[in-house]
Structure formats: structure tokens, C-alpha cells
Amino acid sequence: MPESLRPVPRHVAIILDGNGRWATGRGLPRTAGHAAGEPALFDVVHGAIALGIEWLTVYVFSTENWSRPEEEVAFLMHFNEDLLLRRRDELNDLGVRVIFMGDRADPRVSDRLRGHIADTEALTARNRTLTLVFAFNYGSRLEIAAAARRLAEKAAAGEIDPAQVDVAALAAHLYLPEMPDPDLVIRSSGEQRISNFLLWQSAYSEFAFPATLWPDFDRHALAACVEDYRRRERRFGGVTGD
């Protein structure tokens, strides 16, 4: 264990999980758990700003979540749209830059939601206190496959030499090439799996799996994960900590 604490993570990525269990445990419909996750998210945004975290990525809808019951998917789509409308000015006032990462062009995403996403991104584009990335209709395998496809298209068009396709070239074709790799990936609810989230970017991330269900998560739970992270030694394949 290092004697001194490492700096606060620059990028924290969170798999918000446990909304359904939070609700069913109370005899409520699963969708009530999603609604209860909203204040948790905003408390964590405040906590991230207070801690000096620069990037916060939250996994809110995966490419596999379309397989949920139709009414839950419909609720989540409407909920995301409504949340942007109700909260974008507040996020803007906090100095938060909002970016959506994922397949927003999917025809299953409504034009209205696409419009709200674009408006929120434009409204907050110049903010730098915190960059909040919503991983929405996001799947890491789809992202990597899309990057590979774009590289193949460029090679076929003679724009790049296939010999130039290396780690840096692939990383440059991911959805957000400017996003630093997450230093810390947190998954709430006690599940210990990655569920198609940031597979490429989390190659050397630290992981935390707090048992707290997402609606019960807050800035203090975030701070506890960060404190634990700061005591860890990261090696990146070497023999001494960074």
C-alpha cells in the first residue's frame, strides 16, 4: 500500500445498477426505482464537483436494455427526455458539460429525445467544471466494431495504410476520442460484472463494487469509493506504482 494518497481520479465511470431491486424490495414497480435514481445521480454530480473529478460517465441505457419489457423501455426513454428538459439549466448553472455517448442514431431513439440531447449538448458545450457523459444506447462491443468499420472504410478508400491501424488509431475512432480512460469504474448494487461498458477504455481501471443499490447511492458513497481508490497502487504492467 502506498504511503501517500494518489490524486483524486480524473475520470470516474459508474454503472448505475440496482434500481429494479430497490423498487421491487418496496413492493413498487421497477420504474419507480428508475425515478428514485434521479436524485442519487444529481447528488453524485454535486459530489464529483466537490471532489474535483473532471469526468463523470454514467451508464444509463445499454444496447442490451432494449430487451427489457416494452413498458420499461418506454418509461426509460421518456424519463431520459424529461430529465434533460427539467435538469439541463441546473446542470448548465453548475458548469457541467453534458455529452451523450452511444448510438443515438438508432431508429428506436425518438427524434424528440435526439433533439433534447443535441440541445443539452449545445447549451453546455463550453462548460468545464465537470464533463458528464451519459452512456446511452451504449455498448462497448458496438463502439469497437464501429471504430473497426470506419478504419476499414478508410483503408478501402485509400485514406490510410492498413499498417497504420494500431492501438492509437483504434482509440482515435471510438465515440469520444478526447475522453480520458476511466481511473475508477464503480458498479452499484453488488453485481460484479462489466455488462458491455467501456471494455477498451477500462483496460487499466480500478474497480469498486459497493453493495448499495443505485437509488440509495449519494455523494458520500462516491467519496468512500474515491478514498479507497486513493490508497491503491496502480502498476500498469510495471513493477512499481505510478
Question: Given candidates 8, 49, 56, 76, which one binds ligand IPE under the rule CB under 6 A?
Answer: 76
Cell (9 digits) for 124? 453546455
Using the rule CB under 5 A, give the single segment among 12-20, 147-155, 175-183, 201-209 that binds Mg ion: 12-20
Q: What's the chain's Rg over C-alpha atoms?
A: 18
Residue in the shown chain whose Cβ atom is closest to Mg ion: 17
**Residues in a beta bridge with 11:** 55
CB nearer ligand IPE, residue 60 or residue 117: 60
CB of 219 to ligand IPE, least distance (A): 19
CB of 197 to Mg ion, least distance (A): 12
Residue 76 touches which of ligand IPE, Mg ion, none (CB < 5 to 8 A by kind)?
ligand IPE
Q: Give the list of residues 6+ apart from residue 190 with CB closer than 8 angstroms, or none.
A: 18, 209, 210, 211
Question: Given candidates 16, 44, 109, 132, which one binds ligand IPE under the rule CB under 6 A?
Answer: 16
Residue carrying the nine cell digits 448499495 = 212
62 lines the binding site for ligand IPE (CB under 6 A)? yes
Catalytic residues: 17, 65
CB nearer Mg ion, residue 193 or residue 235: 193
Bridge pairing between strands 11-15 and 184-187 = parallel
CB of 17 to Mg ion, least distance (A): 4
Under 8 Å between Cβ of 101 and 136: yes
220 lines the binding site for ligand IPE (CB under 6 A)? no
- Residues written for the chain: 242
CB of 234 to Mg ion, least distance (A): 28
CB atoms closer than 10 angstroms to residue 112: 12
Residue 92 touches which of Mg ion, ligand IPE, none (CB < 5 to 8 A by kind)?
none
Using CB under 6 A, which residues numbered 119 to 178 contact ligand IPE?
A: none
Give the footprint of Mg ion on this chain (CB under 5 A). Answer: 17
Residues engaged in binding ligand IPE (CB under 6 A):
15-21, 59-62, 65, 76, 189, 191, 193, 195, 214
